[in-house]
Amino acid sequence: MACAISSGRFFLSPSAGHNFIFSSTRVKTQTFLWNRESRLSSRLMSQPAPLSTADPVSASSQDGKSQAEIADVIVQYVVLRRDLIDTWPLGSVVTQGCHASVYAIWSSKDDPHTVDYCRPEKIDSMHKVTLEVKGEPQILNLSEKLTSGGIVHKLWIEQPENIPTCLATKPYPKSMVSSYFKKLKLCK
């Protein structure tokens, strides 16, 4: 599904061809179908379709990339505290993660991995992994492990309360940093 938007707001429509008016914004939706060997699916936000196991294009030849290149995607890890997720408003915790993520990217803006991660042709397909730890001792411990391993990251400390709320790495090839995060759970 795609949208024609007149004032910069983005809305998705459950069906094609309908006009919606929301906050004085008129949105005209259209459905675009993608055909791959008699398989139709609607596309959202220009994201490529996932490859199925029955797909004739193998994972090792997707867009001419080797399996190693696909597996070693550049990724940014964001780690939130579960105790804060359970006690703070969700928006506040998400905001903390956003602060740490932006800080980590901006402070490493000249790093080759960050430059690659933010290239205009890749900006719509960034990879982030959002994980969780139990609480403050675990996030401080993780930060120490990352520091001792030479992994550049930002431990976000909310002020004026002086509370470590989350951390985010700069973008790295997944193979370089995934071992530090393998025991953590996905944030749900």
- What structural domains and CATH numbers belong to the chain? 1-47 (no CATH), 71-186 (3.40.1490.10)
Rg (CA), the chain: 20
Rounded mean pLDDT of the chain? 76
175 pLDDT tier (thresholds 50, 70, 90): very high
- Does this model's pTM top 0.85? My answer is no
Give residue 172's pLDDT: 98
pLDDT band with cut points at 50, 70 and 90 for residue 38: very low
Q: What phi and psi values does residue 84 have, to the nearest 5 degrees?
A: -75, -35
What SS3 class is residue 28?
A: strand
Share of the chain above pLDDT 90, in %: 61
Q: Are 122 and 135 in contact (CB under 8 A)?
A: no
Helix (H) or strand (E) holding 80: strand 74-81
- What is the Cα 71 distance to its own chain's centre? 16
pLDDT in tens, 128-154: 999 999 999 999 999 999 999 999 999
